Amino acid sequence: MKTARSIGFAILLAFGATSGSWAVDEGQTQPRLSSNEMYFANQTEDLIPLTSGSGNIKGVLCKSASSGILRNTRLIFYVDGISAQTIFFDEYPFSFDNGSNYSTGTIPMNIRFESSIRLVMQRTSASSTYICMASWGLD
């Protein structure tokens, strides 16, 4: 019985170690920066257009002259062809940058993709300019 538990634990440990290693960035990515801005309400724009290949997203930063504009913003991540996650800024604690703009600050990430990535900016209401930037790379 102990042997069966030990084998089962070893298998689980092996799967856990393997899946954790997928997110590791060994410094082999080709770094890229993408940015886009929006003005109109109910608008959708690509921050990172659909790409093919493997790599990861390192971080995102968004800025606006109004905190209300950022609160009506969401980022949608399509990892390997699937809508993996949506970030809403509804109750995010914004800070001011040197130009008196509201800013999310750099949001660090390590979103690993194996075949494709697409990052979409979406505004649900309010018309005013805001900009988002993303740091990412392909292997």
- Write down the pLDDT at residue 97: 78
Q: Which residues pair with 57 in a beta bridge?
A: 111, 136
More confident: 39 or 27: 39
Is 102:96 a contact under the CB 8 Å cutoff?
yes
What number is the average pLDDT over the span 7-12?
A: 40
Side chain identity at residue 54, one-letter code: S
Per-residue confidence (pLDDT) for residue 32, from 0 to 100: 93
CA 13 from centroid of its chain's CA atoms: 28
Question: How many Cβ atoms sit within 10 Å of the Cβ of residue 103?
Answer: 17
Rg of the chain in Å (alpha carbons): 19
Split at pLDDT 50, 70, 90, the class of 16 is very low
Q: Average of pLDDT values for 4-12?
A: 41
pLDDT tens profile 83-105: 778 998 887 888 887 777 889 88
Question: Within 13 A of 88's CA, how many CA atoms are on the CB side?
Answer: 4
Tell me the pLDDT of the chain averaged across its residues.
Answer: 80
Superfamily assignment of 28-138 in CATH?
Protein of unknown function DUF2961 (2.60.120.1390)
Q: Residues 39-67: what's their mean pLDDT?
A: 91
Confidence category of residue 71, pLDDT binned at 50, 70, 90: confident
Q: Record the tokens describing residue 20, joined without a space.
A: 């954790």
Domain ranges of the chain: 28-138
